[in-house]
Amino acid sequence: MHSELADSLQRRVRSRGHEVVTFGALQPGADDEWTSVARAVGEAVSRGEYDQGILCCWTGTGVSIAANKVPGVRAALCGDAPTAAGAREWNDANVLCLSVRATSVAVAKEILDAWFAASATTDPKYRAIVERLVAEDTSNAV
């Protein structure tokens, strides 16, 4: 099942020169249960198959929670461009989560532009925070 938002996101990501690989409801015959999709995307990012992922569900909260259970994933639920930029810069977020219900196509474009324009800060304070998160991921891995 394709939505206007999903189609727009794919076009925008491709127009920025990135590869788009679909999971779940966007891939015919795949498991489209949101926790399964979030885990699959999170694991692919965690393994280094992809640098980043984008996940959507009705509120965006469910996929964010599920993706963050995968060690190495720093998923951020973003509802606006400044939040997306901050998530990338200060948290080195690698999975963007969006609400299908609350995110318009126009706002999604702004969010994507901010997400891709930002990069992780080199500020030692924030790098240390992210490094602690990564260490906690590996120490709590199941």
Q: Which among 141, 133, 127 has a CA at the least distance from the CA of 71?
A: 141
Give 19's Cβ-side CA count (13 Å radius): 5
Note if 57 is an active site residue.
yes
Q: Which among 35, 38, 84, 67 has a CA at the least distance from the CA of 137?
A: 67
Whether the CB-CB separation of 25 and 58 falls below 8 Å is answered with no
Q: Nearest 5°: CA angle at 103, between 100 and 107? A: 145
The catalytic site residues sit at: 57
